[in-house]
Amino acid sequence: MTRRLPLLESPVKLAALGVGLGLALLTGLGLWQHRTLTTELAQQTAVLHRLASQRADQHDAHLTALSAIAVASDEPDQRLFLEVAATITRFYPRISAVTLVPLIAEGRTVGAAINPTLAANIRAAALASGGGIALLPDPGREGHYIMVKRSPNSAAARYGLSLSIDAAGLLDEAGDYWRQPSVGVTLSLPDGTPLLHHGAFGAAHETRTLGSVSQPLVLETTRSVTPSDLFPPLRTGLILLVAMLLAGAALALLRQRQRARQALEQARLSALDSRLAHAARVNALGELASGLTHELTQPLTAILAQAQAGRRLLARDDRDRLASVLEDTVTQARRASAILERFRNWSRPQAAPVQAFDLREALNNVAALLAPQAAAQGVRLTFDLPAEAVRVRADPVEMEQVCFNLLRNALEALQDRPDGQIRVTLRAGAGRAELTVRDTGPGVAPDLRPRLFTPFTTTRPEGTGLGLALSQRLIERAGGEIGLEDSAEGASFRITLPLEGAA
């Protein structure tokens, strides 16, 4: 019977459990960190979006004020318009240029100098705007876009008013978060024309359109996520340390519970062992009584002979030889005393209750008792039991005692054979249960076979020679038979018992 180590007693399984727990914790940490980083990106993007939208809305007010001044001025050179435009560009550095383009090609452009192509583009955008604000890329300034509004904003418009705006100025002073190399920002015109990009491209991504009605620029933010971001060394170390402490405490608790269960099982097995031992003492009393006379005859005869010899030596005054005879007499007396002491330790025989029970249960109990001894000796203990119950009528404790005696004898026969094997086979058929116990030990000597079941027959100095005699008595009392079979290797005992209900 092979004993499999429970989870909490196997170092390999414990190591695998620890590795699995560590991987699970690291996975949880990584997911939590990833969620934290993406949540932070979303929060920071919302702040940046609100800032850029507020700044974009300011441009509408500048266009409205400049348009009113341009329309109201009668000066050909638009001196007041230029002063206000200069003030705006000074206080709002992101507005790089203010230009007033007449809608008639022959008119003179007021404000920042621009090339004829750009002037034509502004004029065309103002005429096609229909009262709204048009957005154009600024070909002369990288990262800039142009806002175009007709002035006045009616069918009688005379100018195309434009502001050239640095897109990066919308995002100035956004915070230290956006200076991180792992963070990227992109700002584009509504048609997808990119205005600026800085930082890294990453897996985490946010896209928002500015809240300005006149400038619905597209803001995109990204965040690259590296293993060091998912598993910060300090936090990872602290979490693993706490996890190891928790795992250690949990394992200690589980092992304590395991030890408690093992103690309960050991107590059950000890009680079973005690019950078997008591039953053996009770049932062996009759065998002891029948063999006691034979055992005591030898020391008593020796004492009688030595006493007679001592009397003769005393008559001759041979004190030297007398001391030796007296010493032998004492030895034989002590032997007789030991026999009587052993006899006194056994209980008075009593009839055991008979009941129907599953013989497999008795074998399983014996297996639980002897499996540790078999494992310690390196003996392979195998039980071949049927799947169905094998019910017989007998005393369960007595049957357990018989099985225990046979298996213990087999283990003692394999004491010096660490590669030994014991096979127990149980079969039922034709109204009989047949139990066979075979071992690969040295077997039974031919001269010992005829008196194998005779009381006090033993080959071991410490043995009582009562085990097989008692087993035969118990089996016969249950209406069965026990015998030694011929075997090519080791010893083979066969027990037959009537099944429950058999005639």
Contacts of 334 (CB under 8 A, 6+ apart): none
Q: How far apart are CA 286 and CA 281, in angstroms?
A: 10
Q: How far apart are CA 115 and CA 113, in angstroms?
A: 7
Q: What is the dihedral of CA 285, 290, 295, 297, to 10 degrees?
A: 140
Would you place residue 342 in the very low, low, confident or very high pLDDT band (cuts 50, 70, 90)?
low
Is a pLDDT exceeding 90 seen at residue 336? no
Per-residue pLDDT at 416: 82
- Mean pLDDT for all residues in the chain: 84
Strand positions, DSSP E, 175-331: 183-188, 194-199, 204-209, 218-223
Would you place residue 121 in the very low, low, confident or very high pLDDT band (cuts 50, 70, 90)?
very high
Per-residue pLDDT at 90: 94
Per-residue pLDDT at 495: 95
Per-residue pLDDT at 2: 45
Helix-, strand-, coil-residue percentages of the chain, each rounded to 5? 55, 20, 30
Closest to 210 measured CA to CA, from 185, 192, 178, 188 = 188
Per-residue pLDDT at 496: 95
- Name the architecture of domain 59-227: 2-Layer Sandwich (3.30)
Strand positions, DSSP E, 323-410: 355-358, 380-384, 391-394
Q: Is 353 exposed, middle or buried (0-12, 13-18, 19+ CB in 10 A)?
A: exposed
Per-residue pLDDT at 260: 86
**Range with lowest mean pLDDT among 92-96, 126-130, 272-276:** 272-276
Q: How many CB atoms lie within 10 A of CB 452?
A: 16
**Range with lowest mean pLDDT among 57-61, 232-236, 280-284, 439-443:** 280-284
Enumerate the β-bridge partners of residue 137.
Answer: 145
Closest to 261 measured CA to CA, from 11, 9, 12 = 9
Contacts of 383 (CB under 8 A, 6+ apart): 1, 363, 364, 367, 424, 426
In angstroms, how far is CA 89 from the centroid of its own chain? 67
Token match 């002035």: residue? 151
Closest to 144 measured CA to CA, from 164, 130, 129, 127 = 164
Collapsed DSSP state (helix, strand, coil) of residue 346: coil
Between 343 and 40, whose confidence is greater?
A: 40
Domain spans, the chain:
59-227, 233-344, 355-498
Q: How far apart are CA 306 and CA 300, in angstroms?
A: 10
The tokens for 207 are: 């896209």
Domain 355-498 has CATH 3.40.1350.10: no
Between 296 and 500, whose confidence is greater?
A: 500
Instruction: Give tens-digit pLDDT for 308-327.
Output: 888 888 888 777 787 777 88
Per-residue pLDDT at 189: 95
Per-residue pLDDT at 290: 56
Total residues belonging to the chain: 503
Enumerate the β-bridge partners of residue 394.
Answer: 355
Question: β-pairing, 391-394 with 432-439?
Answer: unpaired
Q: Do domains 59-227 and 355-498 have the same CATH topology?
A: no
Is a pLDDT exceeding 80 seen at residue 94? yes
The tokens for 168 are: 């990066």
Tell me which DSSP letter residue 140 carries. Answer: T
Is a pLDDT exceeding 60 seen at residue 345? no
Q: Is the dihedral of CA 242, 248, 253, 254 positive or negative?
A: positive
Q: How far apart are CA 144 and CA 123, in angstroms?
A: 18
How large is the greatest C-alpha to C-alpha distance in the chain, in angstroms? 172
Cβ 103 vs Cβ 123: under 8 Å: yes
Render 417-436 in DSSP notation, one character per residue.
Answer: -TT-EEEEEEEEETTEEEEE
Is a pLDDT exceeding 50 seen at residue 132? yes
For residues 402-414, give the mean pLDDT: 91
Most confident of 202-206, 374-378, 486-490: 374-378
Q: How many CB atoms lie within 10 A of CB 108?
A: 10
Per-residue pLDDT at 1: 43
Per-residue pLDDT at 499: 92
pLDDT over 70, % of the chain: 86
Would you place residue 148 in the very low, low, confident or very high pLDDT band (cuts 50, 70, 90)?
very high
pTM, rounded to two decimals:
0.51
Q: How many CB atoms lie within 10 A of CB 229?
A: 17
Q: How far apart are CA 71 and CA 378, in angstroms?
A: 110
Q: How far apart are CA 226 and CA 181, in angstroms?
A: 12
Per-residue pLDDT at 222: 93
Between 118 and 292, whose confidence is greater?
A: 118
For residues 134-139, give the mean pLDDT: 93
For residues 320-342, give the mean pLDDT: 73
Cβ 25 vs Cβ 210: under 8 Å: no
Tell me which DSSP letter residue 217 carries. Answer: P
Question: β-pairing, 194-199 with 159-166?
Answer: unpaired
For residues 445-471, give the mean pLDDT: 77
Per-residue pLDDT at 310: 81
Tell me which DSSP letter residue 442 carries. Answer: -
Cβ 358 vs Cβ 399: under 8 Å: no
Would you place residue 194 in the very low, low, confident or very high pLDDT band (cuts 50, 70, 90)?
very high
Is a pLDDT exceeding 60 seen at residue 284? no
Is a pLDDT exceeding 90 seen at residue 49? yes
Contacts of 51 (CB under 8 A, 6+ apart): 170, 171, 174
Contacts of 226 (CB under 8 A, 6+ apart): 182
Would you place residue 77 in the very low, low, confident or very high pLDDT band (cuts 50, 70, 90)?
confident
| Amino acid identity, position 14 | L
